[in-house]
Amino acid sequence: MEKTYNELQITPSSEYSLFLDFILSLSDEAIEEANGTIIVRSEEDVAMLLFGVETFSKELSEALGKEITLDTHLLVKENEDWIAQYRNSVQPLHVNDFYIHPSWVEGIADKKNIIIDPALAFGSGHHETTYGCLLLLQNYVKEGNELLDVGCGSGILSIAARKCGAIVDLCDTDEQATDSATENFKLNHESFHRIWTGSVQKRDKEYDIVVANIIADVLIMLASDLQRAVKEGGLLILSGILDKYVDKVEHRFSSMKLVEKYQKEEWFTLVLQRN
């Protein structure tokens, strides 16, 4: 990557669309439009492009019989290392014994390290709902527990449960999510028992723990299926619940015993037990 790039700013007094079409026909560089100004950025010399636009302006003025003026600025700017800046902006996260970090940050020896590279907002632990689930999973998952992660996203909760000794299944209605989760399990050198694209209805057994970090409306819609997925005496961990919906969710799952209610900011995570 070059240390600098050229930025050409072109603001015609009229006939903006004709100038835009003309520049697009001459340049294959990325072009930005900003309040009547056309901005071309390139690591190559743009002097010939500027000459071509100025010539086009003169010929267009003659053809239309009116004066068209151009306001142009040619700037040389520092090239940013955007990848490095992005990586520096992604902060690792401590959640008790868990240390969630991207692949370019070293793990910590005495922690349960979870590698998650942020992608498509599928979950990197920073959201309050994911944080709540990570916190509570450490309190309730025991070695050998069978756990189902409904709406798995990046797979972060399943990976966390696996690191606590659980045997995990996971599912999501979005195929991109299940693909992402599969890759993240490989990245963390962990294994799952089963993964599928779809929801809880496709399960073929009951589980010691079911975790669902979705949104309140979907939790309510899936309430019967989620409850049936839990073994007698087992636990259901629900998250993604805004404070204004928590009473509604509790009411829908009132046949289960409320074991714990965790709040972080305006988000709730519930731990329920099947009677």
Question: Would the CATH topology of 4-79 be identical to that of 89-273?
Answer: no
106 three-class SS: coil
Answer whether residue 124 shows pLDDT above 70: no
| Under 8 Å between Cβ of 125 and 100 | yes
CATH topology of domain 89-273: Rossmann fold (3.40.50)
Residue 219 phi, psi (nearest 5): -60, -45
Residue 127 has pLDDT above 80, yes or no: yes
Q: Residue 123: what pLDDT?
A: 54
Q: What is the pLDDT of residues 13-43, one digit of tens each?
A: 999 999 998 998 887 777 889 889 999 988 8
Two structure tokens written together for 183: 């890759």
> DSSP states of 44-98 as a string?
S--HHHHHHHHHHHHHHHHHHTS---EEEEEEEEEPP-HHHHHHHH---EEETTE
CA distance 225 to 273: 15
Do 226 and 256 touch, CB atoms closer than 8 A? Answer: no
Return the residue matching tokens 């001459």.
26
The mean predicted confidence, pLDDT, of the chain is 92
Helix boundaries (H) for the chain = 16-26, 47-64, 82-89, 128-140, 156-163, 175-187, 216-221, 223-228, 246-252
Query: pLDDT tens digit string along 152-161?
Result: 999 999 999 9
Residue burial 144-168, b: 16+ Cβ < 10 Å; e: rest: ebbbbbbbbbbbbbbbbbbbbebbb
pLDDT band at 79 (very low <50, low <70, confident <90, very high): confident
CB of 31 within 8 A of CB of 24? Answer: yes
Q: Where along the chain do its domains lie?
A: 4-79, 89-273
How far apart CA 151 and CA 42 sit, in angstroms, is 43
Summarize the confidence of residues 184-194 as an average pLDDT: 97
CATH architecture of 4-79: 2-Layer Sandwich (3.30)
Say if residues 197 and 179 touch (Cβ distance below 8 Å): no
- 110: Cβ contacts below 8 Å, ≥ 6 apart: none
How far is residue 17's CA from residue 252's CA, in Å, rounded to a whole number?
A: 57
Residue type, 49: L
Percent of the chain with pLDDT over 90: 79
Half-sphere exposure of 272 (CA within 13 A, CB side): 28
pTM of the model: 0.71
209-240: b (≥16 Cβ within 10 Å) or e: bbbbbbbbebbbebbebbbebbeeebbbbbbb
State residue 163 phi and psi, 5-degree precision: -70, -15
With bands split at pLDDT 50, 70 and 90, how would you rate the model's confidence at 120?
A: very low
